[in-house]
Amino acid sequence: MAPPQRRRHKEQRRCPPTDPHPPSPPSAFAAALSNVAVAQICLSTGYTAAEPSALGALSDVAGRYILALGCSAAHIAAANGRTDANILDLVRAIEDLSAAHGFAGAADPTGPLLRSGALRGLMAFVQSVDEVPFPRPIRRDGNQETPGNQWTSFAAAGREPPFRHVPRWLPCFPEGQLGEEGKGIGTREEVVTDGVGGGEGKKIVELPAERGRVRFRMGGKQKRRPREG
């Protein structure tokens, strides 16, 4: 059993160190869109079919390419003290990513960016390639991706919080959460609100059990009246 273990050690040594923060997996919708687009590109090159695993891998690479372009351009813009990226940052990012395969004029990094060989390559590509649009229009609603960000406070919803210690500016509790506790307190306390529009209502709370009254006098003796009856 020694040889396979030794082999395994060698393989581990050869492997590059893993990324401590691996990128999150792409959403299913984006992956499906990317699959269709990449399949169209493969079809235009002359392929008649594709293995699903190969197509998935290639579309994943496409997503990562866009991510890498965006990251690189955003970093260059941030390094120059801007929040919005412009075409110069993008051309620089494209040059960086196409440096692995090379492009015309890559030998002179000090040359003007707008005359970059990578950009000229893109111009020639757009002129030469046939336009293959995406087969279907895509619904554009970015808000649906983050439903957790949409919430309304108690004040906005016009409701009173079920507990007295909960301020009205907090988001409403989910419907199921109110269940037993909220109802239980609601029956024990009678809340009377004066003027809904005023925001802060005047509350008169009747306590469930009778208690003895306590009186205080400032600067004098405290006197407790005995409970009557």
Partner 1 sequence: MNSSSSSSMGGEGRHDDDSGLTEFLSSLMDYTPTIPDELVEHYLGKSGFHCPDLRLTRLVSVATQKFMLEVANDALQHCKARQAAPVKDKSKQPKDKRLVLTMEDLSKSLQEYGVNLKHQEYFADSPSTGMDPASREE
Please report, as ranges, the residues that interact with partner 1 according to CB under 8 A. 1, 3-4, 27, 30, 33-34, 37-38, 40-42, 44-51, 53-55, 57-58, 61-63, 65-71, 73-74, 82-88, 90, 94, 97-98, 100-101, 112, 114-115, 119, 121-123, 125-126, 129, 131-134, 138, 140, 142
How near is the Cβ of 176 to partner 1 at its closest, in Å? 32
Task: Quote the distance between the C-alpha of residue 220 and its chain's center.
Answer: 63
What three-state secondary structure class fits 171?
strand
127 versus 222: smaller Cβ distance to partner 1 = 127
d(C-alpha 101, C-alpha 106), whole Å: 10
97 versus 106: smaller Cβ distance to partner 1 = 97
How near is the Cβ of 133 to partner 1 at its closest, in Å? 4
17 versus 197: smaller Cβ distance to partner 1 = 17
Which DSSP symbol is given to 26? Answer: P
131 versus 200: smaller Cβ distance to partner 1 = 131
Q: Are 12 and 5 in contact (CB under 8 A)?
A: no
- Pull the structure tokens for residue 227: 């409970």
- Cα–Cα nearest to 57, from 33, 34, 40: 34
How near is the Cβ of 35 to partner 1 at its closest, in Å? 11
How near is the Cβ of 150 to partner 1 at its closest, in Å? 18
Q: Are 86 and 95 in contact (CB under 8 A)?
A: no
How near is the Cβ of 171 to partner 1 at its closest, in Å? 25
Phi, psi of 17 (to 5 degrees): -60, 135
28 versus 196: smaller Cβ distance to partner 1 = 28
What three-state secondary structure class fits 153?
strand
Residue type, 222: Q
- Pull the structure tokens for residue 68: 């890498």
